[in-house]
Chains A and B, each alone.
Chain A
Amino acid sequence: MDAQFLIEVETLAMVLDQLDYYGVLKLDQGAGAADVKAAYYRESRAYHPDRYAAVESAEVREMIGRIYRRINEAYTVLRDDQKRIKYLADVSGPDRLKKLRFTEVEESAVQAEQKRKVEEQFGLTPNGRKFYSAALVEINAQRWEAAERALKGALMYEAGNARFKEALAQVQAELEKTRPKGDYRIK
């Protein structure tokens, strides 16, 4: 182990608590899942404690251990798409210094968000769900008019549900296609 690396380790260990996860993995904030993995492999090659298991100084091993635990922590958060979005919003916000580490509070916020999304897929109210599932049956059978009625029903209970609106737009587009072209209707 050369002197330069030792200085690097000491500096990193010292500023560890001021770095965000992007800083720990030496990534920029636009990084996607593949970049995160590549960075994790790169940093693991540099700081994996196994590499320094035979180093005499317990102090150096402790520092490397601390750095590597943070690298793992950063990886667990940034590799997860949902957590990464939440984390990026947190560290870009005014509370940056308090949000450098992803804690149980953030974790439960991400989970609540996910749960809301899942529920939205199927509807948040019993009646909304009932109408939406009826609509899905009609869509499968390509009975577009019945599907439109059911979706409008669902939207009566959940006016803001993005998924219902999207489905309705699709159904209406299908309906448009099936309408005879040309204007021969009785005026």
Chain B
Amino acid sequence: MSSEIALGIDLGTSYSCVAIASQGPPQVIPNEWGERTHASVVSFLEDGHVLVGNDAKKNIITNAENTIYSAKRLIGRFYFSDEVKKAQAVMPYGIIEGANNSVRLKVRDKIMAVPEVSALVLKEMRVIAETHLGHPVTKAVVTCPAYFNDNQRQATKDAGRIAGLDVLRIINEPTAAALAYGFGKDISQKICVYDLGGGTFDVSILEIGKDVFEVLSTAGDTYLGGDDFDDRIMAWLADDFTKKHGLDLRQNKFCLQMLKEAGERAKIEVGRDGVAEILVPSICQSPEGQVLDLKQRLVADQFNKMVMDLVQRTFKVCDEALQSARLTAADVDAVILVGGPTRLPIVRSSVRHYFQKEPLSDVDPDEVVALGAAIQGAALLNTSAAEYGQASYLLDVTPLTLRVGTVGGFSERIIDKNTPIPIEKSKTFTTSRDGQDRVKIRVYQGESSKVDGCELLGEFEFTGFRVGYRGEVQIQVTFEIDSNGIVNVSATDLESGKKTSTTISLSSGLSEQDLRKAVDDNAGMELASRQRAR
């Protein structure tokens, strides 16, 4: 029965978590040291070993150039995107351009695609589960932010494959959280999942009708998360330090990492105790050779003022989601908080104020997503759940409008956002020149009618249809969004009904060949954490 287990993996920006739901209620699998969440940090050691998890996180300072964190912020992005530019400015590891505008990471003369790094995190999760269970596991359900576009989902799926996992499904984090909350409870409610993660913010409105979990709408901001809260504290600390000593800590990558760590710790402390004492001894040296300490005190009021606009931004997204669902905040029966930053009192009280409701307290914001993924994993492997009345049905939606590029930099809507998936829609294209033997279309996702404001998914070229005079040949292109939220495009010649061949260019993803190579490379990388002495 060992093959009949599917892991639920929450692949987070800063922390990841793994769970199973094979026997009895779903549960989180801790590693050998009892840790239940694991830093999504990958550190490449000098001896060729790879360290993943909380141990690797310690290396962010000592081995900064060879330690990759927050890779999720870069996954499925083009090299020219703003997020990549932003990351290049602050990340100590090398972010370089690969073929087709893709992003590559450079560590110790090794050049890797982002999914290859995420794969190492997934591999660690897999090893944790295998160590716990005592047998190999090959199947998993992996979560991603609801607001992820096709490129990001595809890359997440690739990461699973590189890690040697058969990814049964990519499910949305808020949906997974709702599933973990409502599974087996036989409730009928409208709920809101407020998911503020390390790097992304998502909100989903769901209607739970016993075993059916219908996502009414989803909205998000892929540039907003706990990291931005840290940044505010960092900026404050650095400005203050500059004022006192005339030195900018942000100029040095080593100091920057220490500053970042101090910022994160201060955020957690101020959230827990209401006040944070920040002390980083000997953070740098003045030009006169004097060793300087970073010493500060941060109180809750001051912190709340720093981040208030970030918190307010989340409610703009909530407004949007409620509006799409045609509901008001008062219609929501329960609010589920997901993600570490939702532990902050400022976030909790703002959520309470917005929804006029106490958010649920019996849900662990760090673990609930992995638990939901595990439940879904178990359901996908089970053919007879429905007969036992244990089934649950996730009716999810696509978060972004699917578009095709038209003339003059404009785009045309094909599938609206918040449409239930899986779904398909066809559109007929005609040739514009006599003797035209190929049709090219560019597919985008986004809410702007201009293609510049949308994310390019790829350019598709159709060939192998009948050649004729212009306007005579009609090609029916079918756009399908599958249950993973991944877009597939195919085309048929309307007259002959024959499928035309399709080639994709300009895609941010890995080619089949690259993927195979990555799978082999990955199998050869040894995880050093397994050898950590007790």
Contact = CB atoms under 8 A, between A and B. Distances in A.
Interface of A: 1, 41, 44-45, 48-55, 65, 68-69, 72-73, 75-76, 103-104
A44 B168 contact: no
A51 B385 contact: yes
B277 interface: no
25 contacts: A1-B383, A41-B209, A41-B212, A41-B214, A44-B395, A45-B212, A49-B422, A50-B169, A51-B385, A51-B391, A52-B383, A53-B169, A53-B381, A54-B380, A54-B383, A65-B422, A72-B420, A72-B421, A72-B422, A72-B423, A73-B424, A75-B420, A76-B420, A76-B423, A103-B426
Majority SS at the chain A contact face: helix
A76 B383 contact: no
Contact of A54 (B209, B382, B394): B382
A44 B393 CA distance: 7
A45 B381 contact: no
Contacts of B240: none
B427 interface: yes
- B-side interface size class: 20 to 34
A104 B379 CA distance: 36
Nearest to A104: B427
Nearest to B211: A45
A44 B212 contact: yes
A55 B384 CA distance: 10
Interface in B62-90: none
A55 B393 contact: no
A75 B393 CA distance: 16
Interface in B418-449: 419-427
Nearest to B383: A54
Contact of B386 (A49, A51, A65): A51
Interface in B198-216: 209, 211-212, 214
B480 interface: yes
A32 B456 CA distance: 38
Nearest to A51: B386
Interface in B376-429: 376, 379-383, 385-386, 391, 393-395, 419-427
Contact of A50 (B379, B424, B427): B379
A47 to B, nearest CB: 10
What are the nearest 7 A-B pairs in CB distance? Answer: A72-B420, A53-B380, A48-B393, A54-B383, A72-B423, A41-B212, A69-B424
Contacts of A73: 423-425
B490 interface: no
Most B Cβ at <10 Å: residue of A1, A53, A55: A53
Q: Which has the most chain B C-beta neighbours within 10 Å: A45, A50, A55, A65?
A: A50
